[in-house]
């Protein structure tokens, strides 16, 4: 959590979520956490930045019961104002219109400021590195023009490889979706935008919701919303929220799906809370008014978060398709064994509808009624295709489940684990109350507080 490294002593941090009247940092309303010392039921609550889990990126911190002076409040407001973008979205749209009218020889992009430059601004940036002669093709692919922000806990702009991006778009079209709410998926958004501008018959639309305001230089207010997916905050206020709400209206049979690719170091609890609010916004636009319906969704995340995602969205299931990224050293397609990409698609759509490419080795399991990877063999005992990481897993009769091929059953630990491990059986109970039978996240004492 945001303030974890700064808090003394042995303590556990638990997210309590957004709170009414929460103080703000440059990333919008802060989230409420509780710090609990081992063996104590009551913890002290505090606010920390929603987007940055490293205090070097945003050092906002405030105890919930702390009285903040008027002077400090005024200084905080001034600090937040000073950390907002220099241009508004509307100004950026106007600047773009002027930029595209320039001859190629006068189109410059400042690499240091990550900004399209008009000729009158060249002097201010004279000691900076430029990219010159920016083409229309480059303007249509801003994710390749901008430097990726690669802080894995805040921005983590690991951008879809063309293979995965094209697969996702083809899948969405085949499934009949004509509107895509692209939450933190700039490359998918720009592929849709590019095809829409080049192909008359292409009828898919996309709205990008992203915390990276640099994209406002390239997209209109109907194509991009400045949004923080960790606290469901629209930076432009009610007008921007209304843009999103209008986009979610399903008119003329144009079905909507949300596709999101959050930073893998982000808090699943915070993300799930925001996604549920986007779903609620979608339900508000539905004429049927069924409160139990979920907006169709693809949540792209590593497979080892499966249990956490299912805690919040029990209707979701994980697909075997391996999503790969251009600018990530490990998450690449075509690697074998443990070096395969661990990133998967979690969805609330019926698994049998998600057709995976057979030319890449995926096949349909008639028992499980879903496509699985070539190494994912059906276990007759578990009655399921059990592999999560693409390798063939083996069944352990003692554990009564399939486990990774590199694991072995340890009689001391009474479970399967790596062969080289330390057998340290412990009877330690819950971190919060010390009692056995449950973990900290499910502690009834914490729930009461």
**CB proximity list for 431: less than 8 A, separation 6 or greater:** 12, 36, 38, 439, 440, 443
DSSP one-letter string for 74-120: HHHHHHHHHTS-SS-HHHHHHHHHHHHTS-GGG-EEETTTTEEE-GG
Joined tokens for residue 79: 């600090």
- Which pLDDT band holds residue 449 (cuts at 50, 70, 90)? very low
Q: What is the pLDDT of residues 391-425, one digit of tens each?
A: 899 999 999 999 999 999 998 888 999 988 888 65
CB of 325 closer than 8 Å to CB of 313:
no
Q: How far apart are CA 176 and CA 358, in angstroms?
A: 21
Q: Inform me whether the pLDDT recorded for 428 exceeds 60.
A: no
Q: Which domains does the chain have, with CATH numbers?
A: 12-83 (no CATH), 89-134 (3.30.160), 162-374 (3.40.50)
Give the residue carrying structure tokens 């992009």. Answer: 109
Q: How far apart are CA 84 and CA 88, in angstroms?
A: 9
**22 alpha-carbon distance from chain centroid:** 23
Cα angle at 206 between 202 and 207, to 5 degrees?
A: 160
Q: Which of 106-110, 148-152, 399-403, 426-430 is predicted with the least confidence, judged by mean pLDDT?
A: 426-430
What average pLDDT is seen over the chain?
86
Q: How far apart are CA 269 and CA 388, in angstroms?
A: 22
pTM given for the model = 0.87
Q: What is the pLDDT of residues 253-282, one digit of tens each?
A: 789 999 999 998 888 999 999 999 999 999
Query: Quick check: helix, strand or coil at residue 216?
Result: helix
Angle between helical axes of 268-285 and 238-247 (0-180°, round to 10): 70
Q: What is the pLDDT of residues 207-218, one digit of tens each?
A: 999 999 999 999
Q: How far apart are CA 261 and CA 161, in angstroms?
A: 13
- Which pLDDT band holds residue 39 (cuts at 50, 70, 90)? low
Query: Which residue from 261, 273, 203 is spatially nearest to 232, judged by alpha carbons?
Result: 273
Q: Inform me whether the pLDDT recorded for 5 exceeds 50.
A: no
Q: Which of 57-61, 213-217, 233-237 is predicted with the least confidence, judged by mean pLDDT?
A: 57-61
Q: What is the pLDDT of residues 111-147, one digit of tens each?
A: 999 999 999 999 999 999 999 999 999 999 999 899 8
Give the residue carrying structure tokens 């590195």. Answer: 129
- Which pLDDT band holds residue 443 (cuts at 50, 70, 90)? low
Bridge partners for 371 per DSSP: 364
């Amino acid at each position: 959590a945001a303030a974890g490294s700064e808090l003394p002593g042995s303590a556990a941090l638990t997210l309590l979520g957004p709170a009414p009247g929460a103080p703000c940092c440059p990333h919008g309303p802060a989230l409420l956490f509780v710090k609990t010392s081992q063996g104590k039921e009551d913890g002290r609550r505090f606010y920390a930045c929603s987007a940055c889990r490293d205090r070097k990126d945003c050092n906002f911190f405030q105890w919930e019961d702390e009285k903040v002076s008027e002077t400090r409040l005024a200084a905080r407001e001034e600090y937040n104002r000073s950390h907002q973008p220099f241009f508004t979205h509307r100004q950026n749209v106007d600047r773009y219109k002027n930029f595209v009218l320039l001859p190629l020889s006068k189109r410059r992009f400042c690499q240091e400021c990550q900004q399209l430059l008009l000729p009158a601004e060249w002097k201010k940036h004279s000691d900076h590195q430029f990219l010159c002669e920016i083409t229309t093709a480059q303007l249509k692919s801003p994710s390749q023009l901008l430097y990726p922000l690669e802080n894995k806990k805040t921005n983590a702009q690991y951008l879809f490889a063309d293979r995965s991006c094209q697969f996702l778009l083809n899948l969405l079209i085949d499934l009949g979706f004509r509107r895509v709410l692209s939450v933190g998926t700039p490359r998918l958004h720009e592929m849709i935008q590019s095809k829409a501008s080049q192909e008359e018959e292409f009828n898919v639309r996309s709205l990008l919701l992203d915390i990276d305001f640099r994209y406002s230089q390239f997209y209109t207010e109907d194509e991009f919303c400045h949004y923080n997916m960790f606290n469901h905050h629209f930076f432009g206020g009610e007008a921007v929220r209304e843009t999103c709400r209008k986009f979610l209206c399903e008119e003329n049979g144009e079905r909507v799906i949300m596709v999101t690719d959050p930073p893998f170091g982000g808090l699943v609890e915070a993300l799930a809370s925001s996604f549920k609010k986007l779903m609620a916004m979608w339900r508000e636009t539905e004429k049927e008014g069924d409160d139990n319906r979920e907006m169709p969704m693809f949540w792209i995340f590593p497979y080892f978060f499966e249990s956490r995602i299912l805690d919040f969205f029990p209707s979701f299931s994980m697909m075997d398709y391996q999503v790969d990224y251009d600018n990530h050293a490990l998450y690449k397609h075509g690697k074998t064994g443990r070096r395969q990409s661990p990133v998967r698609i979690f969805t609330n759509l019926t698994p049998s509808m998600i057709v995976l490419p057979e030319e890449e080795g995926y096949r349909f399991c008639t028992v499980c009624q879903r496509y699985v990877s070539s190494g994912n063999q059906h276990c007759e005992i578990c009655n399921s295709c059990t592999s999560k990481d693409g390798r063939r897993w083996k069944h352990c009769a003692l554990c009564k489940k399939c486990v990774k091929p590199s694991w072995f059953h340890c009689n001391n630990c009474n479970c399967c684990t790596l062969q080289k491990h330390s057998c340290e059986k412990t009877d330690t109970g819950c971190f919060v109350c010390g009692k056995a039978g449950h973990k900290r996240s499910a502690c009834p004492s914490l729930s009461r507080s």
